[in-house]
Amino acid sequence: MTIQTQSQLGLRSNPNLLINGDFSVWQRGTYQDTAGYGSADRFRAVLANSATMAISRNEQANGHLVENQRVRTSARIIYTTATEQSYGSDCTVRQVIEDGGMLTSGESVTVGVWLYTTSNAGDEFIIDYSDEFEKHTIIYGWNYYSSTFAAKDRLGSPLFPDSFVDISFIGSGDVNITQVKAEVSSVATPFEPDDPQTNLAKCQRYYQGFGFIRMPFAVYASGYAAIPYLSFNTAMRKGDENSIAWATGQGSPSTGWVEERDRIVPHYNNGDMIGFDCIVRNTSISTHGNGWYAYGGLTIDCEL
């Protein structure tokens, strides 16, 4: 266990294997209290047994004072009845490492996190890398914790579902976490955030949402419309048609509501998904003419 300031380490920063470690991007929403993805990008809530957890965005105009820096955002986590398990605990915040599969045996991975509490000093939490973990005793206020593990050999596969980082909690509590980092190193080095646009683009490789869009269509057959092409804001990691979903939207001027999507064809470039076209079903579409569809709530989700 390491409890020391990062500046005391006197080291240059290594690249972070995680994305959005400063919790600055929250495309899905700023609060969730159920398992799965629903709040901070790239982080998934994992719950088991009777444990509960609420994750919310904690943002302060003047920032949190962390290691003499003003850190604007963190994730506030309120958890109850979390029990230690052989795999960590049943109340966890997880991120799968896409490039974790490129690590080889003999390397070390160090995971670090800043954690804050005023009410749970003396309790414990767990840092976990791919089912290897270490417990830490929580100290009052903002403190830095890190653990070092042997890298798992993934045989060169860039996507391996059990290459992940967990921050897990025990008991009941109220904490904030920020600047979560995993790096190929035997020691922790300072957290250096990406600039906002770079961080957003990295997050959008996994999830993009569109509030309201308007797309042209051509009649495909009676009751069906073909929508030619929609490009993404950022090229996304390879997914499949089931990762594309939207709420029903109203057509314009008089084609009615979209009833269901019948077929979606993603387009790829160098292995990334850059857009899609599709066929949607709507019984009010005749075999005559073209028009526009307006969609609300379109999301593309390629999370690991």
Q: For 227-251, how does the pLDDT look when each residue is reduced to its tens digit (9 = 90+)?
A: 888 889 899 987 767 677 765 544 4
Whether the CB-CB separation of 142 and 65 falls below 8 Å is answered with yes
**Model pLDDT, residue 127:** 97
Could you report the per-residue pLDDT of 40-73, keeping only the tens digit for each? 999 999 999 999 999 999 987 566 666 656 678 9
| pLDDT score, position 296 | 63
Domain range list for the chain: 6-204, 207-301
DSSP designation for 102: G
Q: Which candidate, 294, 300, 302, 17, places its Cα nearest to that of 154? A: 17
Quick one: which of 225, 228, 221 has its CA closest to 279? 225
Residue type, 23: F
* Strand partners of residue 277: 265
Higher pLDDT, 209 or 24: 24
pLDDT at 254: 44
Residue predicted with more confidence, 13 or 158: 13
CA distance 282 to 120: 55
User: What per-residue confidence (pLDDT) applies to 10?
Assistant: 56
Percent of the chain with pLDDT over 90: 49
Mean pLDDT of 255-278: 78
Task: Round to whole Å and give the CA distance between 31 and 245.
Answer: 21
Alpha-carbon span 297 to 113, nearest angstrom:
34
**Residue 266 structure tokens:** 């993603």
Give the lowest-confidence range in 11-15, 109-113, 273-277.
11-15
In this prediction, residue 253 carries a pLDDT of 39
Residue 164 has pLDDT above 80, yes or no: yes
Segment 2-27 shows an average pLDDT of: 77
Short-list 58, 56, 47, CA closest to 29: 56
Whether the CB-CB separation of 223 and 281 falls below 8 Å is answered with yes
Q: Which residues pair with 136 in a beta bridge?
A: 125
Cis peptide before 190 (omega within 30 of 0): no
Distance in angstroms (rounded) separating the CA atoms of residues 130 and 182: 12
- Angle 186-190-196 (CA atoms, 0-180°, nearest 5)? 130
pLDDT of residue 222: 79
Angle at 9 between CA 8 and CA 14, to 5 degrees: 140
> Residue 81 and residue 51: Cα distance in Å, rounded?
5
- pLDDT of 19 reads 96
> Looking at this protein, which amino acid is placed at residue 79?
Y
168 — phi, psi (to 5°)? Answer: -120, 150
Listed range (21-25, 141-145, 253-257) with the worst mean pLDDT: 253-257
Window from 18-27, 187-196, 281-290 with minimum mean pLDDT: 281-290
Q: Tell me which residue of 131, 20, 5 sits closest to 69, measured CA to CA.
A: 5
Count the residues in the chain.
304
- Look up residue 16 and give its two tokens: 């972070």
Q: State how far the Cα of 125 lies from the Cα of 270, in Å rounded to an integer.
A: 41
**pLDDT greater at residue 6 or residue 73:** 73
CATH of the structural domain 6-204, one choice from 3.30.230.10, 2.60.120.260, 3.40.190.10, 1.10.490.20: 2.60.120.260
Two tokens, residue 110: 């160090």
